[in-house]
Amino acid sequence: MRLSVGAVALLLASPVLADSLLPSREIAASAIEGYIRPAFHQFAEEAGSLRFTAGKLCEAPSEDALAVTRSQFGSTVISFSRVEFVRVGPLGKADRMERLLFWPDRKGIALRQVQAALAEKDETAAAPETLQEKSVAMQGLVALEYLLFGAGADTLAAGDDYRCRYAKASAALIAELAETLDREWGDPNGQGAHMLSPQPEFDDFRTDTEVLEKLAAT
């Protein structure tokens, strides 16, 4: 029996129902192994494909290459939407959520910063190793969406070198972080493993009830 994270919340809200169906540890295992880990793995695969297509667009610009990259961006966003609410565990650490999705952005910070980088051709935004040191608003899915779809994006098909290198750097950081999240969820000594087998001596997950409460709160 496999349960989604939403089903965990429903069961936790009704302890009698939960006790009648599955032990608490099996409920958590079903959510983690049946949904969370596969969903993060899918996000890592889609983000890796986005990194690849963005690289190909820069190597050989064309209308078709841009269309493929835009389509893969859409697939990546869809896969991320399936995990972005799982703030418990690796995604909730070290501003990772903000690095992937700087939202809501009520003041339009990402738009202003990305437009400024494009206007100035800021080389520190066009390489992953320096982009990752800049504002989180400049490096995630919101920034990449503007680079691929915003004003002037059609120039990517004609060989806009700077804009493409910036998009490629952003896609690379998204893919690297997605792969890190996938790896950490699968780590036999990581938070995912602690959730599957909580122990009193752990700093993060000490009891089965604590695991279920945190899953239900996502």
Give residue 18's pLDDT: 44
* Residue pLDDT, tens place only, 58-67: 999 999 999 9
Q: How confident is the model at residue 19 (pLDDT cuts 50, 70, 90)?
A: very low
Give residue 5's pLDDT: 54
Give residue 134's pLDDT: 97
Does the structure show a pLDDT above 50 at 82?
Answer: yes
**Distance (Å, whole) CA 145 – CA 139:** 10
Burial (CB < 10 A; 0-12, 13-18, 19+), residue 103, is middle
The residue type of 22 is: L
Give residue 214's pLDDT: 84
Could you tell me where the DSSP H helices lie in the chain?
5-13, 15-21, 24-31, 37-59, 63-81, 96-100, 109-120, 128-131, 141-149, 161-186, 191-196, 208-216
The residue type of 62 is: S
pLDDT (mean) for 10-23: 46
Q: How confident is the model at residue 23 (pLDDT cuts 50, 70, 90)?
A: low
State the pTM of this model: 0.87
Does the structure show a pLDDT above 70 at 144?
Answer: yes
Q: How confident is the model at residue 81 (pLDDT cuts 50, 70, 90)?
A: very high
Q: How confident is the model at residue 6 (pLDDT cuts 50, 70, 90)?
A: low
Does the structure show a pLDDT above 50 at 36?
Answer: yes
- Sign of the Cα torsion 85, 100, 141, 83 reads negative
Give residue 211's pLDDT: 87
Lowest mean pLDDT among 23-37, 91-105, 141-155: 23-37
